[in-house]
Amino acid sequence: MCKNSSKHEVNCKKLQNQPKLTSLLASTSKLQQPQQMAKAGEIKLACFVAEHNIAVNVASHLTKLVKSVYPDSKIAESLSMSRTKTRAIVVNVTGKTAEENLIQNLKENYFSLLVDESTDKSAIKHLALIARVVNTNYEVEDKFLTLIPIAEGSAKVLYDKTIEYFNEKGIPYKENMLGFASDGANVMFGSNNSMVTHLKNDIPNLFTMKCICHSFALCAS
């Protein structure tokens, strides 16, 4: 058949309307879309539970509620999240990502450190580290960094554990740390042997500030 013949031209036009092989793959992706969107929905629900400090046990009931509200939704039908999965998402997914992003921020930008020592109901002491940073909108934010278990609450131990964490994560605290704040306890702000005196050996120009609320409480008592 000559390529310039009228019959050949008609057949070429027919081929233009022929469905392509790649169009067959689109149907597969459409089938997978509800499952993918359901995974994103589970992450959002887990973040909702964590953000509003709701009991993790509520998660399974919350999933059933969403399914009952949207019975015709394939995405809602694909949701499957209990308290175990909710905790796993918060700890291993969103929490881990938030920690990594914050650590990267501290590596590249200036920050201040807020610390507090506490004892949980199992009588294990912990040191909580909060980082004060400036976000991309130039707003000051306080973000939870980590909770460090400690065997002894002395100034040297608190200092060593904090510096050990910074070194482990590769945070150049001597260059990027501008300020330090805590309560006015002797172990934190004592003039001879405290966490402040140890930190100022590393950072002579470190700005330090006692918690005003603790000072007011002491004055009132």
Domain holding 159: CATH number? Answer: 3.30.420
Query: In this model, does residue 191 exceed pLDDT 80?
Result: yes
* pLDDT tens-digit readout, 4-28: 677 766 666 666 666 665 555 555 4
Of 100, 135, 156, the last residue of a domain is 100
What is the mean pLDDT of the segment spanning 188-204?
Answer: 90
Burial class (CB in 10 A: 0-12, 13-18, 19+), 102: buried
Q: Please give the residue range of the domain that contains residue 132.
A: 109-220
* pLDDT tens-digit readout, 50-95: 889 988 888 888 888 888 888 888 888 888 888 899 899 988 888 8
Q: Residue 210: helix, strand or coil by DSSP? A: strand
Same domain, yes or no, for 114 and 212?
yes
Of 58, 79, 100, the last residue of a domain is 100
Of 70, 100, 130, the last residue of a domain is 100
Structure-model confidence comparison of residues 104 and 23, the more confident one: 104
Q: Which residues pair with 119 in a beta bridge?
A: 125
* pLDDT tens-digit readout, 126-168: 899 999 999 888 899 999 999 998 888 888 999 999 999 999 9
Side-chain-facing half-sphere of 125: CA atoms under 13 Å: 11
Same domain, yes or no, for 91 and 120?
no
Query: What is the structure's pLDDT at 1?
Result: 52
